[in-house]
């Protein structure tokens, strides 16, 4: 597989986002809310680059299955376990593609009346967007290619690759 983003490039981008968040929320506590399973690596590396009081929680949605195309429908399959009311939430997502997942999650989470809600997405594929949504913190804008590694899967495989690679047809 071809490497699109190396582990070093990823680490540099994650550190940059961590510094920015540290600056933007200086003196405040934040809740890092990871979207399972894809964001697990990003959240754990990002959290260690944030110098603030931070707590974690996780949600899970179903959007892509074994196929590479989104069904267009998003379903919450694991909800948060901590109260969100009055919290500064940073929703941590692996990739912003059509935007349907994050649009659904934003709406769902805003119903809990957090103090604020921002989105950190490691990857952004702007050319694929169907919903009017942007991330507040982005690691990389990437072309319309299906990528795996660093948490991202294809049919549950490849999440443990340390680099982000392009999955070619037939692989």
Which residues form the interface with ligand 5GP (CB under 6 A)? 38, 63-64, 70, 93-101, 146-148, 152-154
Which residue number, 44 or 70, has a Cβ lying nearer to ligand 5GP? Answer: 70
Q: State the SS3 of 61-100.
A: EECCCCCCCCCCCCEEEECCCCCCCCCEEEEEEEEECCCH
Closest approach, Cβ 50 to ligand 5GP, in A, equals 21
Phi, psi of 148 (to 5 degrees): -135, 165
Which residue number, 30 or 59, has a Cβ lying nearer to ligand 5GP? Answer: 59
SS3 content of the chain, % helix, strand, coil (to 5): 25, 35, 45
Give me the catalytic one of 45, 94, 97, 153.
Answer: 97
Which residue number, 46 or 148, has a Cβ lying nearer to ligand 5GP? Answer: 148
Closest approach, Cβ 29 to ligand 5GP, in A, equals 26
Which residue number, 67 or 81, has a Cβ lying nearer to ligand 5GP? Answer: 67
Place of tokens 């690679």: 165
Q: Fill in the DSSP letter of residue 127.
A: G
* Active-site residue flag, 2: no
Closest approach, Cβ 23 to ligand 5GP, in A, equals 26
Number of alpha carbons in the 13 Å side-chain half-sphere of residue 11? 5
Closest approach, Cβ 158 to ligand 5GP, in A, equals 8
The two beta strands, 88-96 and 29-36, are parallel
CB atoms within 10 A of CB 49: 16
Residues labelled catalytic: 97
């Amino acid at each position: 597989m071809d490497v699109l983003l190396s582990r070093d490039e990823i680490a540099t981008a994650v550190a940059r986002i961590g510094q920015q968040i540290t600056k933007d929320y200086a003196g405040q506590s934040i809740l890092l809310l990871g979207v399972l399973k894809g964001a697990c690596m990003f959240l754990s590396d990002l959290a260690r680059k944030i110098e603030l009081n931070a707590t974690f929680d996780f949600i899970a949605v179903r959007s892509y299955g074994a196929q590479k195309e989104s069904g267009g429908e998003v379903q919450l399959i694991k909800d948060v376990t901590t109260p969100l009311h009055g919290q500064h939430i940073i929703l941590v997502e692996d990739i912003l593609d059509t935007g349907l997942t994050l649009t659904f999650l934003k709406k769902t989470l805003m119903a809990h009346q957090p103090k604020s809600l921002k989105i950190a997405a490691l990857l952004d594929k702007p050319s694929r967007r169907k919903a009017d949504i942007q991330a507040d913190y982005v690691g990389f804008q990437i072309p319309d290619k299906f990528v795996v590694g660093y948490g991202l899967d294809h049919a549950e495989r490849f999440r443990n690759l340390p680099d982000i690679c392009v999955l070619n047809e037939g692989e």
